[in-house]
Chains A and B, each alone.
Chain A
Amino acid sequence: MILAEHLTKKYGSQTVLNIDKLEIPKGQSFGLVGNNGAGKTTLFSLLLDLIKPTTGHIDNHGVQVDKSEDWKPFTSSFIDETFLIGYLTPEEYFYFIGELRGRNKADVDNLLAQFEDFFHGEILGQKKYLRDLSKGNQKKAGIVASFIGNPEVVILDEPFANLDPTTQIRLKGIIKELAAKEEVTVLVSSHDLMHVTDVCERIVVLNKGEVVKDIKTSTETLRELETFFGG
């Protein structure tokens, strides 16, 4: 379970995030939507202890993230291209992440084999460093790397952006499959309302740093979101 309490983040006098209480039960697939500057990445960065909260705290499975590093073994994430190591080939990067998460080469190869379709022959065996791949292909590598080592919490910031339509659809399938596992909590943020309602059982809308909607996904959800953002 992930629990945020009295969580605020201020830069100077500007409040960019203000969440009194947010609870994400274990195994939930959680979608975060909001316009630019709504605080989505801020929330994820706080969850990964990349920035410090001004007040309050986040607990990840009972570990307060800014006090202990013990959340790291079961949490994995892909936020942006700064999560990639540009001078490694995708394979080397996967093996390195595998090493960090206690997986040997064979384990990693097994996992990668499941993503052959998703990679579409553009990632493995290309003799290219990650820095020389296109944005979309970098993203594919980063997303798959976050699945290495059976993490219990997977955090993906805007995973659909920059991907071609075929890959977006395949990614939806992958995330759904992951979310179906009871022990895995998936957190996804997106600007694409359709994709996010498709893959998440719960959607939280952030606006100017505050939670303005908290919806259990149903057939009505997409329309509700469209009305909210359209109006």
Chain B
Amino acid sequence: MGFFAIYMFVALLAMGSSLYFILRKIFPDENPMWMLSRYFIYWILIELFFRYFMQKLPVMDIKPLLISNIKKSSIAHYILGRSAVSFYNLLALVFFIPFGIVLIVKDYPTLNVLLWWVSIFALVLCMNYVNFLINKVDKALYALGALLIGLYALDYFGIFSVKDVFGPIFHGLFVYPATVLIPLALAFLTYQMNYRYLKNSISLEGALKSKIKEAKTSDLTWTKRFGELGAFLQLDLKMIWRNKRTKSQVWISLLFVFYGLIFYTQDIYSDMKVMHCFLGIFMTGIFLSNFGQFIPAWDSSYYSMMMAQNIPMRKYLESKSLLIAVSVVVMFFLTIPYVYFGTDVLLINTACAIYNFGVNIPVILFFGSFNKKRIELDQSPFGNMQGTSATQFLIMLPVLGAPILIFSVFYFLISLNAALIALTVMGLIGFALRNTLMNSITKQYLAKKHRMIAGFKEKD
């Protein structure tokens, strides 16, 4: 998840530390803490909603524990305890701790802030454990979604003020430090519920058995249109659709289409063309970077077969590049409605898409040849950083940094049009040289083939 995890951390950190000032600016007469508390209920519902997809009970391989001289209760405590330190639980802290620090600096009572942090963490743990409980029921997701939309609609249309009801409750956690006991008790309660359930069902057939889903065969005959690449494209689509980790990449990519809304709607950013360039590269290239950075590690669990089978390396790479190219086009189309915020936005996004298409596709494929860490496709998408290495950090520079740099240079030295032309021309040159670039990338992959095979076999 490398790229995305780092991004989330940085973004939350930045938001957490600036939220106080933003709220002060927007609502000069209101206490920022109060304003934040009013939205707590939505935070909790949204987080639960996302956890439902992303987070699964860490069912590590407990087989060896089962036959050892360890009490089932200890195993249950171990599993639940381990889940408390997951990536998801950190996210909220990364946001709320900087916010609290700002509060302390602004002379809010330190004791209240400290205990408020404890409350927050207890709430996070509650969500953590509630998620495991509701995760077994498919309907829970719909219920959550309906509740979220329902409450927000009530609020929005002024039928009933949900914020007014829950605001004081959550604000109370800050105002009355002793109330910290309530979330703590809730966390303890949800822990106990999970514990009881787990203790009784720890066996290979019980809670730990992963559900075997009925396989759906799909034809995807339309991929035949892509000729020889069709078979690979079909394989990649099945891989993306049938594995947790890849599937979530698609959802994340689609969600990031809305990323632009945060910036385009605000006047402060309307003249920051460099920011718009960042958005353009980012939104049209989100799948490119999220998926592309781990090529060919997605195929790591059967890479030796791919290398021993009748597959020329060149074709293998071309099929990957086709998939990413399609994603860039799709993402571009999805960003077209942003033309509402001005033709400049559309022009910048178009130039960025062309750049992504021509330059970043070969670049990301090239960097992929440095991958040699295995990815377990069926493992939960977020919590693990599997497959992540220094390569992922290096990739961000050329993919995101280079186009922004080029854009800035031309924009500040000449004009916006010059910057747009520069990106477009770079993209077109990349596209024109596609054949040559693919040839040298293929050579690179062939040269690293044995290292990759060996690396992909190593399980952590």
What residues of chain A have their CB less than 8 Å away from a CB belonging to chain B?
45, 48-52, 69, 72-73, 75-77, 79, 82-89, 91-92, 96-97, 99-101, 126-129, 131-132, 149
Contacts and interface: CB of A to CB of B under 8 A. Distances in A.
A89 B215 contact: yes
Contact of A50 (B213, B235, B308, B312): B308
Interface in B280-330: 301-305, 307-313
B217 A86 contact: no
19 contacts: A45-B304, A48-B304, A48-B308, A50-B307, A69-B313, A72-B308, A82-B457, A83-B302, A84-B302, A86-B378, A87-B239, A87-B243, A87-B378, A89-B215, A89-B217, A96-B235, A97-B309, A100-B310, A127-B215
A127 B302 contact: no
Contacts of A87: 238-239, 242-243, 377-378
Interface of chain A, main secondary structure: loop
Given A50-B450, A87-B243, A96-B231, A69 B312 contact: yes
B212 interface: yes
B307 A49 contact: yes
Contacts of B303: 82
Contacts of B305: 82-85
Contact of A72 (B212, B214, B234, B311): B311
Contacts of A97: 309
Contacts of A76: 309-310
B450 A52 contact: yes
B6 interface: no
A73 B217 contact: no
B453 interface: yes
Contact of A129 (B234, B242, B301): B242
Given A50-B450, A50-B453, A99-B231, A86 B302 contact: yes
A170 B309 CA distance: 26
Given A50-B453, A128-B212, A128-B215, A100 B311 contact: yes
B454 interface: yes
Please provide the 9 A-B residue pairs with the shortest distance between their CB atoms, ordered closest to farther. A83-B305, A99-B231, A87-B242, A48-B308, A72-B310, A89-B215, A129-B215, A132-B212, A52-B450
B231 A100 contact: yes
Contacts of B214: 127-128
Contacts of A77: 308
A7 B310 CA distance: 24
Chain B interface residue bracket vs A: 20 to 34
A25 B449 CA distance: 29
Given A51-B454, A83-B302, A131-B378, 8 more contacts: A45-B304, A49-B307, A69-B313, A79-B308, A96-B234, A100-B311, A129-B213, A132-B212
Contacts, number: 87
A76 B309 CA distance: 7
B451 to A, nearest CB: 9
A126 B304 CA distance: 26
Contacts of A73: 310
Contacts of A88: 235, 238
Contacts of B301: 82, 86
Contacts of B302: 82-86
A149 B310 CA distance: 10
A84 B299 CA distance: 11
A72 B309 contact: yes
Nearest to A52: B450
A92 B310 contact: no
A14 to B, nearest CB: 15
A129 B215 CA distance: 6
Nearest to B311: A100
Contacts of A91: 217
A142 to B, nearest CB: 9
B225 to A, nearest CB: 14
Contacts of B311: 72, 100
A92 B217 contact: yes
Interface string B192-235: 00000000000000000000111111000000000000010011
A131 B377 CA distance: 11
Interface string B112-150: 000000000000000000000000000000000000000
Interface in B321-380: 377-378
Contacts of A69: 312-313
A82 B378 CA distance: 15
B381 to A, nearest CB: 15
A1 B234 CA distance: 35
A83 B306 CA distance: 8
A70 to B, nearest CB: 10
Among A69, A87, A99, A132: residue with most chain B CB under 10 A: A87
Contacts of A79: 304, 308
Contacts of A51: 450, 453-454
Contacts of B312: 69, 72
A30 B213 CA distance: 41
A34 to B, nearest CB: 21
Contacts of A129: 213, 215, 242
A171 B155 CA distance: 68
Contacts of A72: 308-312
Contact of A83 (B215, B239, B308): B308
Nearest to B241: A87
Nearest to B210: A132
Interface string B11-23: 0000000000000
A72 B315 CA distance: 14
A108 to B, nearest CB: 12
Contacts of B231: 96, 99-100
Contacts of B307: 48-50
Interface string B438-459: 0000000000011001100100
